[in-house]
Amino acid sequence: MLLTFSISVFVLLLQFLWMKIEQIVGKGLETTVIIELVVYACATLVPMALPLAILLASIMTIGNFGERYELVAMKSAGLPLFRILRPLIVLSLVLSVFAFFFSNNVIPVANMKLRTILYEVKTKKPTLNIKPNQFYSEIDNYTIRIGSKDKEGKNLKDIIIYDHSEDLGNVNVTIADRGRMYSKNDGNVLVFHLFDGYTFDEDLSGENTIKRPLVRLDFKEQILNFDISNFAYQKTDENRYEGHYKMLNIMDLNRSLDTLQSNSEQFVAGFVRTIGRDLNFNVPTTDYKGNFYDDYSRLDSKKKTEIDNLALSKIEYLESDLSAMKSKIRSDKSYITRYKIELHRKFTLSVACLILFFMGAPLGALIRKGGLGMPVVVSTLAFIVYHILGTMGENAALEGKLPVWLGMWLSSVVFLPLGVFLTMKATSDASVLSAETWTKYFDSFVQKIKERKRKV
């Protein structure tokens, strides 16, 4: 179990890092930050790794028993399959309870921490690394080029600094023969201490736009400061993600669902009242003499046109409101569905651990193969099908094509009878997965086809 769980987490972690590699590489992150990122990522991968590990471990364990004929020996001693599996069933129940508490209490916190760190890493600029004979433009409003630097990276030669802060092109350029580069204020300010240089400044403000006067300032020594605070790794307030459905436990999800549904119902009820008031609008039905008519047909053409235009504008206004209401209701429904999906997800992990155990144990008894060969192939295929069904059901529930409970439990509904069937076959020592059985069945099928051809 520990072996398969470690392998599963490692493989899933590699996939996660491969997807986020562009955000991480070149940022100069500290070791502690990378460790935090990996730890929280591993915690969020448990819902996929744990069921897969249980499935693979159960197939390997019972498969080893079958391959070494220990399963046959225990059955010949009068032990039924359920008695043999009793310790593993108890362990699976304990793991299912652990999975529920982990999913309810640990994963929401891990999701919040992971999302916060990823945001911090994403907003951090790449490490400050000015290379010789290359233009460096990561510092806002400046482009820097150096001819060479020493091994420590502090002493520079042939320095060119373009100031684009006025967004007018290369109208301000500083050139120096040599200089020193260092940081201060806890690395938030980059200092260029320049020697023996000059600055070109082309003034394009006001009347100078046409004349374009050029000013050259020679200097023996000059100090330029650059704000590089956005290069630093800055901690983000975790409250920015507070209330997100992936960061809530069961109690918080239920509370949020009640609030969302209540707000949505109040919005619909208020909108219906508003539409009702708008539909009961009054129109002037008097002729040019001031006489009142309640019969539309008795009005003159001018008054009819006025009433028709008023009615049409009211209809267009109501259509616009109805369209906005429809969009709002659809958005609220989708948002509420996400909370319901996350609520069901708290329980599907525990049930998945049990169902996949009762899939893996009988499969191991029927396959009678241990190790990391056939069990890995069978368990991987079974888990892929299980995961695909779960993903399809979740997407269908999110789109409203299936009820939320059916979409989230679709893979369990499909695999539960399959697990019962395999358990019954393993209990009766059926050779349903024996290669020899399938070979005999295939040979018999081919033989029947040949006999029919002869009769024809």
DSSP 238: G
Distance CA 344, CA 348 (A): 6
Check if the beta carbon of residue 152 is closer than 8 Å to that of residue 140: no
Q: What is the pLDDT of residue 239?
A: 66
* Secondary-structure breakdown of the chain: helix, strand, coil percentages, each rounded to the nearest 5: 65, 15, 20
Q: Decide: helix, strand or coil at residue 132.
A: strand
Kindly indicate the confidence band of residue 10, based on its pLDDT and cuts at 50, 70 and 90.
very high
Q: What is the pLDDT of residue 176?
A: 92
Return the bridge partners of 198, or none. Answer: 175, 218
Query: Structure tokens of 206?
Result: 């006001």
Check if the beta carbon of residue 35 is closer than 8 Å to that of residue 338: no
Number of residues assigned to the chain = 456
User: Residue 418's closest CA among 407, 429, 426?
Assistant: 426
Range 267-301 burial, b when 16+ CB lie within 10 A, else e:
eeeebeeeeeeeeeeeeebeeeeeeeeeeeeebee
- Is 70 exceeded by the pLDDT of residue 46? yes
Return the bridge partners of 179, or none. Answer: 156, 194
pLDDT tens, residue by residue, 227-280: 777 666 556 555 666 777 888 888 888 888 888 888 888 877 777 777 766 666
- Is 80 exceeded by the pLDDT of residue 190? yes
Check if the beta carbon of residue 5 is closer than 8 Å to that of residue 102: no
Q: State the Cα angle at 111 between 247 and 381, rounded to 5°.
A: 115
User: Residue 428's closest CA among 63, 76, 80?
Assistant: 80
Position 157, amino acid: K
| Rg of the chain, C-alpha, whole Å | 36
Neighbouring residues of 278: CB distance < 8 A, sequence distance ≥ 6: 314, 317, 318, 321
Neighbouring residues of 272: CB distance < 8 A, sequence distance ≥ 6: none
Q: Where are the domains of the chain?
A: 2-124+346-455, 142-231, 250-339
| This model's pTM is above 0.95 | no
- Is 60 exceeded by the pLDDT of residue 296? no
Average of pLDDT values for 341-348?
Answer: 89
Q: What is the pLDDT of residue 284?
A: 53
Query: Structure tokens of 381?
Result: 């295929």
pLDDT tens, residue by residue, 417-455: 888 888 887 777 666 555 555 566 677 777 777 777 776
> In this prediction, what percent of the chain has a pLDDT beyond 90?
5
Q: Within 10 Å of residue 403's Cβ, how many Cβ atoms?
A: 12
Distance CA 188, CA 230 (A): 8
Distance CA 285, CA 280 (A): 15
Dihedral (CA of 36, 37, 40, 46) sign = negative
Distance CA 288, CA 304 (A): 12
User: Residue 189's closest CA among 132, 136, 231, 135?
Assistant: 231
Query: Structure tokens of 123?
Result: 């907003």
Q: Which of 75-84, 150-159, 258-267, 426-435 has the lowest mean pLDDT?
A: 426-435
DSSP string, 239-265: GGGTT-GGG--HHHHHHHHHHHHHHHH
Q: For all residues of the chain together, what is the average pLDDT?
A: 80
